[in-house]
Chain A
Amino acid sequence: MHLTELEQSMLDGKKGEAVREALTFQLEVGKFFGAERFVPITNAHLMGDIEVMGNAGLELLRRLSNNNGKCAVPTSTNSRCMHFGEVDELRQDIVEIEKEREIIRHIKDMRAVPTDTCINYQTVYQPKLGEHVAWGDTGTVIYANSVLGARTNYEGGMSSFAASLTARTPAYGFHLDENRRGTFHVNVKARMRDTADWGALGKIIGHPNQDYFSVPVFHGIDEMPLSDHLKHLGASLASYGSMAMYHMVGVTPEAMTSAQAFRGRHPDNVIEVTDADINAVYSAYNYLEAQKNIVVFSGPQLSIFEMQNLAQLFEGRQVANGMHVFVTTNHAVWSDAMRLGYVETLEKSGVKILQGVCFYILQRLSQIREENGWTNLISNSAKLVNTITAHRFNTILRKTDQCVEIACSGELI
């Protein structure tokens, strides 16, 4: 890789040991992908919590922090694995909670802002068309590339920290024009009514086409989708297909026309998605016989509009016996939802709201499931019903209003 004078000085340790370690790591990643140079970034989004970092990751973070590593660009953090408030059902480990607090302390010392959110693109920072960033959560990455026209790869683990410390990242993948062209054509004939429908569409396209460098181009969207719709579509494509970008003709900024989206490339294939295809996604999930079940609105965290909608749907209703209901959002949205009365409405109905976490990354989730006797997990998030499966929930995707109905009636519809 070509190094500038500044990058060479980083590699030589002249900018400190933490920066040297970070750039050395980035060089190896860049070499794997054949990157020829680094590209400067303006923003980083860190992914790191004790559930996934473990003691080894914590030790690495201590080293970076003790070596005076400082974020060189504005930097936010992804959802955490710990809810620090009292919630009967969770009972997270005290020792691990303290480690999570230590992670947050180090991150603050390194000048990152612990926003604890996987919806930074809705609440924290919206990079502009062509702006290079380094974001460490798949849902954030696909939203940045697709909806905002910014440029980032998946930057997991050490990678997002390294980018923040060096203010750069290797120029490969979605930083380069040639990888941002559409690769296949999706003709959407289905009428999209609910965020869950958008997630179902992501599953239909992502699951059989698992490829980071595939870029679907959606055609035929007849109503302008909302940010929350595109959030769920992207999160689902990233989850099922490991995809990092899509185009939507007439909607996303690099796809004002189909020709612009494909940039002269002939699509590899054409896929048509009808109402029947979307309905088939829902009907493929089967309930197991169970006394206790859980409804979860999470993955990604809820926006203020999603909180408002849920508050309206739950208003005056009660969560049924044998059902447990959880919502996750970030601190910023929670504060606004508190001010606006949505929190009170939801809590009065028996809904538990977790702040700064995402449900599927909760620490000791398998044990939490066992202790509470939960069998079926019902959600309007296609991503969540996919990502949580290592913990052996029986997952069910349903539309938002159906989820509320299930939660309040106890009937598994």
Chain B
Amino acid sequence: MSLKLQLKRAWGPTVEAPVLVMKEGFSPRYDLDRWSGIISRVGHTAEGQSIVGKILIIPTVKGGVAAGWAFYDLLHKGIAPFGLVFGKLNPVMVQGAILANIPIADGLDQDSMLLLQNVQNIRFDPSTKSITAVNGY
């Protein structure tokens, strides 16, 4: 079965990558070991998982201005995510993603996030404001 989901706002190049669906908000400062790319916050629903090379599906944000530099830093350390898709976001995530040339979007609803939990790889196309499951789901 094909799965195509629409987004509200989007920016950046098209990417295809494995997906990591988070069940709670995310901040690169609060939640991430920025030297390994592993979620390090004790008790985070994605604790122990790597964001490297993944398209992150994130319901909300926490904080924080750190993302303004952090994604650019992660990119140059070779441990950046490939894409960021939010339910709701704040400007710092956009500022940080644009600086690092990482595609970013918002407006993904909760039901769509649930569907993506059964998907391994997605194609994220900001030009059409859409994400598509690769090889179905």
Contact = CB atoms under 8 A, between A and B. Distances in A.
Interface of A: 25, 28-29, 31-34, 47-48, 52-57, 60, 78, 136-138, 153-160, 172-173, 210-213, 238-240, 242, 244, 360-361, 366, 386-387, 389-392, 394
B72 A57 contact: yes
Nearest to A55: B76
A361 to B, nearest CB: 8
A156 B68 contact: yes
A29 B104 CA distance: 11
Contacts of B98: 25, 28-29, 32
Contacts of B73: 52-57
A60 to B, nearest CB: 7
6 contacts: A54-B72, A137-B65, A156-B68, A159-B92, A238-B64, A239-B62
Interface residues of B, number: 39
Contacts, number: 148
Contacts of A54: 69, 72-73, 76-77
Contact of A242 (B33, B60, B77, B96): B60
A53 to B, nearest CB: 5
B5 interface: no
Given A173-B91, A390-B41, A158 B64 contact: no
Contact of B90 (A136, A242, A392): A242
B61 A212 contact: yes
A18 to B, nearest CB: 15
Contacts of A153: 91
B57 interface: no
Given A32-B98, A158-B99, A212-B61, A387 B91 contact: no
Given A28-B11, A392-B40, 5 more contacts: A32-B98, A33-B94, A48-B69, A157-B99, A387-B64
B95 A389 contact: no
A117 B30 CA distance: 20
A32 B64 contact: no
B95 A60 contact: no
B29 A159 contact: no
B61 A156 contact: no
A390 B70 contact: no
